[in-house]
Amino acid sequence: MKLWGGNYEGEPDREFWEFNRSLPFDRRLVREEIAASRAYVMALARASAISVADASALDAGLAAVLDVASPEALADAQEEDVHSWVEARLTETIGDLAGQAHLGRSRNEQTVTALRLWIRGAIDSLRADTAGLVRALAEKGTSGADAVMPGFTHTRRAEPITLGHFMAAHAWGLVRDHQRLGDARRRVNVLPLGSGALAGTAVPLDRDALARDLGFEAISPSALDAVMDRDFAAEFVFAAAQLQTHLSRMAEDLIWLSSPEFSFFLLPEAFTTGSSLMPQKQNPDALELVRGKAARAQAGVIRLLALMKSLPAGYQKDLQEDKEAVFDVADTVAVSVRVMGGVVAGLDYDGKKMRAAAGQEEMMAAGLAVALARDGLPFRKAHGVVAGLVAEARKTGASLRETARGALAKDHPRLAADVDALFDPERAVRTRSLPGGTGPDAVRASLRQAVERVE
């Protein structure tokens, strides 16, 4: 069934027809298309454009179509798009009255309405899964709030931190993603119906009531803008891609810190695979795929922005290309969040190996410089003094602790007597007790706040 063609003498070229059809992918919008159509026929009745009896018959017919509608059910259908499929099935169900569902309505507004409804649902689902991952990180981090491990800058050991601090860092990135998706949802949740092809409809619809029926918070203020706007799709894809980017960073940390060279973390076996040649291997494939799929999600952002670039005002067929980018990124990120949730839930850590690595003396250098500054030496000079002690210890092969003890005995006797405490990584993390710091109490508070932000 085609929704056009009365002024055509022949049929479209066969290869072009397949090139033109969007049903192979926009079938995923079938439930949203039916929901919007049901609300629209009721709006037509409220506007006295059709009778209440006809609206009831149309609604019942659409409900019957919904009973057999699913993306899978449309897999072999031959209609041009999801809108044509729904109207064809409605016509089979109630006859020619089905055509009244299209009164004053254009596919230009139908497609963007269905897409907005679909993205709204995708956002709600993705935010729920992201909140679950934040909770999993918070649970793991709270249980490891006192577990000391090395912190890194430039992939080099820097200062001691706690496992809880590590987990909180990743949790807070996800909190921002959760908020960013919520912000995007507000701009997604705007009703285009009533825009017609580009100039609005002559049917006196109550668009505000129609918006309420479909759960939209607002109506589009410009019909021409509404049918060509895909900002909301690009914004959703960006927010999802940013989420995937945070997942990729977390994946990278877990990959290298679970490697035999560190063995800080033990990955759950169910999220690893073996080697076809090397029997001993347990490869972090789940994490590597999460990391790799960030490129795919980021490409979706460019795909949509490039699609919208330089399009003239009004609906253009180019915009048919929006959906596959949206669906692909949404699917990619959704499964990545769930997989990462499984990894984190099953993750174990080796506290002894982490503590041993955190006890490397050079990691206490910054703390020693701060202690000198608090003992009266200007910090820049203190920094230079400690740098010299590090160089001397490396040159002589002595420990930094003993080198510092001897060098500080004359001018800083209190610090010299307290050197052992200054080189204690547990003490080092406890001194970072301010909000946001790596101190155990600060970390527990941070993790509680992260969970509260996504509730």
The model's confidence at residue 188, banded by pLDDT at 50, 70 and 90, is very high
The model's confidence at residue 5, banded by pLDDT at 50, 70 and 90, is low
Report the pLDDT value the prediction gives residue 310, as an integer from 0 to 100. 94
Report the pLDDT value the prediction gives residue 12, as an integer from 0 to 100. 85
Query: Does position 376 have pLDDT exceeding 90, yes or no?
Result: no
The model's confidence at residue 3, banded by pLDDT at 50, 70 and 90, is low
Query: From the candidates 48, 51, 56, 275, which is the catalytic residue?
Result: 275
Q: Tens digit of pLDDT for each residue in 264-279?
A: 999 999 998 887 788 7
Query: Does position 4 have pLDDT exceeding 60, yes or no?
Result: no
Report the pLDDT value the prediction gives residue 2, as an integer from 0 to 100. 62
Report the pLDDT value the prediction gives residue 230, as an integer from 0 to 100. 98
Comparison of pLDDT for 94 and 279, the residue scoring more: 94
Report the pLDDT value the prediction gives residue 281, as an integer from 0 to 100. 79
Catalytic residue at 275?
yes
Q: What is the 3-state secondary structure (H, E, C) of the chain?
A: CCCCCCCCCCCCCHHHHHHHCCHHHHHHHHHHHHHHHHHHHHHHHHCCCCCHHHHHHHHHHHHHHHHCCCCCCCCCCCCCCHHHHHHHHHHHHHHHHHHHHHCCCCHHHHHHHHHHHHHHHHHHHHHHHHHHHHHHHHHHHHHCCCCEEEEEECCEEEEEEEHHHHHHHHHHHHHHHHHHHHHHHHHHCEECCCCCCCCCCCCCCCHHHHHHHCCCCEECCCHHHHHHCCHHHHHHHHHHHHHHHHHHHHHHHHHHHCCCCCCCEECCHHHCECCCCCCCCCECHHHHHHHHHHHHHHHHHHHHHHHHCCCCCCCCHHHHHHHHHHHHHHHHHHHHHHHHHHHHHHCEECHHHHHHHHCCHHHHHHHHHHHHHHCCCCHHHHHHHHHHHHHHHHHHCCCHHHHHHHHHCCCCHHHHHCHHHHCCHHHHHHCCCCCCCCCHHHHHHHHHHHHHHHC
Q: Tens digit of pLDDT for each residue in 200-252?
A: 999 999 999 999 999 999 999 999 999 999 999 999 999 999 999 999 999 99
Query: Does position 316 have pLDDT exceeding 80, yes or no?
Result: yes
Q: Tens digit of pLDDT for each residue in 9-21?
A: 678 888 998 999 9
Comparison of pLDDT for 385 and 46, the residue scoring more: 46
> Whole-prediction pTM value?
0.92
Taking all residues of the chain, what is their mean pLDDT, rounded to a whole number?
95
CATH numbers and ranges of domains, the chain = 14-103 (1.10.275.10), 108-356 (1.20.200.10), 360-422 (1.10.40)
Catalytic residue at 70?
no
Averaged pLDDT, 176-186: 99
Query: Does position 1 have pLDDT exceeding 70, yes or no?
Result: no
Low-confidence winner among 39-43, 249-253, 358-362 (lowest mean pLDDT): 358-362
Query: From the candidates 154, 276, 310, 383, which is the catalytic residue?
Result: 154
Averaged pLDDT, 415-434: 89
Query: Does position 84 have pLDDT exceeding 80, yes or no?
Result: yes
